[in-house]
A and B are shown apart, each in its own frame.
Chain A
């Protein structure tokens, strides 16, 4: 066994050595055009979407030229402009010949290739391959060891549409798309400032996914920015398909149910976060943009909280936090109260509970557990079904499992109400990935409540709160501004103060450029303003 392994390793080493050696030869562009073309065809496996267009240029001697691109990844119009501009086909032959005399053809093409963006000279073979595979058009000239590449990226992408996961009543109806360039432009349109910076890097050894780190210079914390970039460069994987990959590689703690990085598909949410000093990570190929550092309470905010009256927003935020608590605690409290502390329930209600429980074959704990589990199944089943089948799921779930189960005397009606309340409450807060935590914790809390009553639930809450307050998102305590308590940040947490009174940025996110607006912008009727100014004059 050992010998075999050693042999295998040796073989692999030799193979690698061979590859390295050949790579050194291969990593340069040959002088001969046809050799290059053949190598390209060979490297891409004679792929059918590889387009090679041959040209000839100049009078005596003729220079052979080839333009190479992948058909699905480019904008054909751009390619034509690039190629024809570069080769200057429109110019008259004599002029071309005149101009051509004395200058080498490569420089001539380069000088004329300005009809598209990002025209560069490529001299390494793997860069050439990457350029072709990224949707660039590469012009190879016979007799030269360099090539010219131009950005002709295009092809089919999804247009900008309305957000599908984070709906608001009032506010911009734009969502990010899968294209990095579009996403950056969507953010830029909101912030016409030179301080909006982004740094792009490539992650994934095979996929070479573009990842952009976006921040407001002078507002975002340099420390967090450095940390994010450090963690991003540390990632060594083959492919990044979604921003979820990045999130899992750079988050502070893996073994937690609570998300420590915020994500959104709404540009306005990202802009608001950037202006608070947070840092956005945009990944090519996904409409969900990551934001760090994230706080627990942030997952209960929606962009529209800032667009409407602050009283309504505060009420809604409070409502969301309460519904989070309901979805986490209702079943376990129900179990604990009815089985351990029935004296706490008002007598008429207790009698009604007892009457319903009569004839039900399971203990209450089992009953609630089964129904909660059934609810989770219905929820998961309804999520990914085609719309036509989805209705059937809801009928079966609602009618058969709900009403019929009660009528058959298998579960009590109160249990159904408790389960339904839990379910509805779990839909009432805006973030899907925050919803995961109560869904799973609910079950363990139910088991604890069934074994130890309220005391067990409270002890579990102690552990839960301690766990949450031990979490950090890029150095920021997760439960702030509540624990540690920061009075100045309460203004935009579970409540939202009027916009004119939120003078400073959140303190723990960034200490740079703290004041975001001038004081004294409270709107007032004109006569009140007059009397104030008079008073000031009098003073």
Chain B
């Protein structure tokens, strides 16, 4: 743990950037077809409930991170192994996000650039920013939040004014009933909303603990609404068949903008949002992995781990999947059900239950 303080507003900004991160470009929930936006909205609501669980744990142990109260609740050895599990989880998701990011960038604009170069530059910048600490990351976030919002507002209004939106593409609502939505719910809940569990590592830095719930819930609901809007907009612009086949629906949707021959082919602006979002997503997961490792292995300063861990993240991001298709397949089939669900939903609920039972037993 470093000595740092993050304000409620900064936490809100970081969470918002984190939630929008890559999800705004790779739209979640397109398996639910035309009702994808509804799936995202429902995923957000379940995500909010999950955050309440994390918040309840935080209220019980306001000075401790997930690793810290895991040890307190489960005891030394079980807590330690749970901590190592979460360390690998954060590290693995950071690796996956880095690979995702590299794949997206090489597929969209940097066709001739090796993915290794792109990932190296990214991990270098992330390492530089994290070397200055969480406060600097939060301030950088505040700065780029404004830029992201500006790009978003301009992009959305351009889509609206260029007359590409056809609201009939979204109709009829619930064409195939609730089943497709419910079957995609695990995916939309865990990505991106459930990933907020990484903030259990950052909550002890909050300067006013009472702002935690407000910042978290507002960040999640605002990002959820924004994501719902983006998913709906993509389907309304492209139609569900193009949208579900396209690798990056937002890129294709924005690419259709043509206003007065001046504003056209703005897909690079989307890549810009992707870079900003991807940066913060990787940085936050990487930071969580860093401080998990420092807490678990009693390292004095987390900065001494930055270099070895960034090498690990960089090289693993190259070897985590043999190719792009393999990577996406793992991401769709393996990660949500076997990794996200137990670690985002199962473990925290069990931890909370044990903690509450223990507390009650103590008080009796």
Contact = CB atoms under 8 A, between A and B. Distances in A.
A343 B266 CA distance: 9
Contacts, number: 91
B9 to A, nearest CB: 6
Nearest to A349: B262
B276 to A, nearest CB: 7
Interface size class of A (residues with CB under 8 A): 20 to 34
A485 B9 contact: yes
B139 A483 contact: yes
A456 B143 contact: no
Contacts of B266: 344
Nearest to B112: A340
A341 B269 CA distance: 11
B271 A454 contact: yes
A459 B268 CA distance: 15
Interface stretch (B122-130, B195-203, B229-237): B122-130
B211 interface: no
A17 B122 CA distance: 62
A489 to B, nearest CB: 13
B32 to A, nearest CB: 32
Given A455-B118, A458-B276, A341 B268 contact: yes
Contacts of A102: none
A220 interface: no
Contacts of A455: 105, 109-110, 118, 121, 271, 275
30 contacts: A340-B109, A340-B110, A341-B109, A343-B267, A343-B268, A346-B261, A347-B261, A452-B113, A452-B117, A454-B271, A459-B124, A459-B125, A462-B129, A462-B140, A463-B128, A465-B139, A465-B140, A465-B143, A466-B140, A469-B132, A469-B139, A470-B132, A479-B143, A482-B142, A482-B146, A483-B143, A484-B10, A484-B139, A485-B9, A485-B142
Contacts of A483: 138-143
A291 to B, nearest CB: 23
Contacts of B139: 465-466, 469, 477, 479, 483-484
Interface in B238-295: 261-262, 264-268, 271-272, 275-276, 279
A247 to B, nearest CB: 23
Interface string A440-472: 000000000000111110110011011101100
Nearest to B275: A458
Contact of A453 (B110, B124, B129, B138): B110
A346 B264 contact: yes
Contacts of A484: 7, 9-10, 138-139, 142
Contacts of B125: 459, 462-463
B149 to A, nearest CB: 13
A329 B142 CA distance: 20
Contacts of B89: none
